[in-house]
């Protein structure tokens, strides 16, 4: 542990036995608790909201979440001698949700449904600014503009890589898929449902994936609420489903089980189901891979990105069959 870490940790009233590096952070173990020390570059307003939301969720009976620890001065942010800012969170030492394990997958979606049921009652008492999760319509508009820009850039390249040739060959197909999904979303009740969520203070985790689900024996913890805010909770379910189903090659049985388990705890309306299917139709994986390419060193394309793009093509037919069957449920 560096002198900087020691300096920051000394600002907290905690006892630490050992430390080790985690993903972008330092994990600190005490006798009965673990903590995660990490850089923080966001606003104090968002931290105050997250702290309030964590207290609210725990008061509802959902205890295994990574609350932010206040330092000896009662502040959520600590600063070192170089004016670098840090936060310390309660942490859970266990195993991440294994998407190759069907029981883990089901536990993950049941936990999401339980969490959502505690974050939609509308009695969150908070005086500060309540953030909103990003609008899907605005995101899709931006992604479509980015796809158009990337396609133009690739076509204008004189010396194209095999990645670029391959992407251009399929680009129009995925650009059309993106535009069609956008049009379908406009024709749903998405906007009015989002507005209703804001008024009722119905919250999303904002980044619910298997990395943020930790299994500790027979308990499950949910961590990393930094992107939490009001919004249609089906967005969390979509993000979890898409990540899992990509690993399972869009297996209809897995997808049905995920939706069924969630629906038993948090019923999904017909309109929400329709929006979920539209979200699955949007070619997010294709956009993500080509956008990473556009924002990187284009003279060298990592083999991993080439493989990801090929996987998108390979899975597209399975994905379309999945959406067609699930749309009729």
Average pLDDT over all residues of the chain: 93
Which pLDDT does position 138 carry in this prediction?
97
Structure tokens at 322: 């999945």
| Among 245, 219, 160, 230, CA closest to 194 | 230
List, for residues 218-265, the tens digit of each pLDDT value: 899 999 999 999 999 999 999 999 999 999 999 999 999 999 999 999
pTM as predicted: 0.93
Q: What is the C-alpha separation between 198 and 193, in angstroms, rounded?
A: 9
Which pLDDT does position 93 carry in this prediction?
87
| DSSP string across 205-274 | -SS-SGGGEEEETTEEEE---TT-EES-THHHHHHHHHHHHHHTTS-HHHHHHHHHHHHHHSPPPHHHHH
65 DSSP 8-state letter: B
Looking at domain 3-93, its CATH class is alpha beta
As beta bridge partners, residue 222 has 65, 213
| Residue 95: C-alpha distances to residues 38, 99, 104, 212, 214 (Å) | 20, 12, 10, 10, 5
Write down the number of H helices and E strands in the chain: 11, 11
Query: CATH 3.90.1200.10 in the chain, residues?
Result: 102-327
Which pLDDT does position 260 carry in this prediction?
97
Contact 6, 86 (CB under 8 A): no
Measured over the CA atoms of residue 134, residue 154, residue 186 and residue 208, the dihedral's sign is negative
Structure tokens at 152: 């133009």
| Among 291, 264, 290, 274, CA closest to 326 | 274
List, for residues 133-158, the tens digit of each pLDDT value: 999 999 999 999 999 999 999 999 99
Better-predicted residue by pLDDT, 19 or 270: 270
Q: What would be the CATH architecture of the domain defined by 102-327?
A: Alpha-Beta Complex (3.90)
Confidence of residue 1 (pLDDT cuts 50, 70, 90): low
Cα-trace Rg, the chain: 21
Contact 274, 238 (CB under 8 A): no
Better-predicted residue by pLDDT, 122 or 184: 184
Element (H, E) at 191: helix 190-200
Cα-Cα end-to-end distance for the chain: 53
Query: CATH 3.30.200.20 in the chain, residues?
Result: 3-93
- Over residues 160-172, the mean pLDDT reads 94
List, for residues 104-135, the tens digit of each pLDDT value: 999 999 999 999 999 987 788 888 889 999 99
Q: What is the C-alpha separation between 309 and 313, in angstroms, rounded?
A: 7
């Amino acid at each position: 542990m560096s002198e900087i870490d020691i300096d920051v940790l000394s600002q907290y009233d905690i006892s630490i036995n050992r430390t080790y590096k985690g993903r972008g952070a330092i994990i600190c173990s005490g006798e009965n608790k673990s903590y995660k020390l990490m850089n923080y570059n966001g606003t104090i307003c968002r931290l105050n909201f997250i702290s309030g939301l964590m207290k609210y969720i725990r008061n509802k009976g959902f205890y295994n979440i990574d609350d932010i620890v206040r330092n000896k001065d009662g502040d959520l942010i600590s600063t070192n001698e170089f004016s670098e800012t840090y936060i310390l969170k309660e942490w859970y030492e266990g195993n991440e949700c294994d998407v190759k394990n069907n029981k883990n997958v089901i536990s993950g979606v049941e936990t999401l449904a339980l969490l959502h049921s505690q974050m939609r009652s509308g009695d969150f008492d908070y005086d500060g600014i309540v953030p909103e999760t990003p609008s899907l319509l605005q995101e899709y508009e931006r992604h479509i503009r980015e796809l158009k820009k990337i396609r133009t850039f690739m076509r204008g390249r004189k010396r194209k890589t095999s990645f670029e040739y391959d992407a251009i060959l399929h680009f129009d197909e995925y650009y059309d898929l993106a535009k069609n999904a956008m049009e379908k979303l406009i024709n749903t009740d998405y906007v009015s449902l989002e507005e209703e969520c804001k008024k009722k203070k119905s919250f999303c985790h904002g980044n619910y994936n298997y990395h943020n689900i930790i299994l500790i024996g027979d308990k499950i913890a949910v961590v990393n609420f930094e992107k939490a805010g009001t919004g249609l909770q089906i967005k969390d379910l979509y993000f979890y489903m898409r990540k899992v189903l990509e690993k399972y090659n869009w297996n209809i049985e897995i997808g049905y089980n995920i939706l069924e388990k969630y629906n038993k705890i948090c019923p999904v309306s017909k309109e929400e189901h329709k929006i979920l299917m539209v979200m699955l139709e949007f070619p997010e994986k294709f956009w993500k891979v080509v956008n990473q390419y556009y924002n990187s060193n284009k003279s060298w394309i990592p083999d991993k990105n080439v493989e990801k793009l090929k996987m998108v093509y390979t899975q597209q037919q399975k994905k379309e069959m999945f959406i067609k069957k699930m749309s009729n449920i």
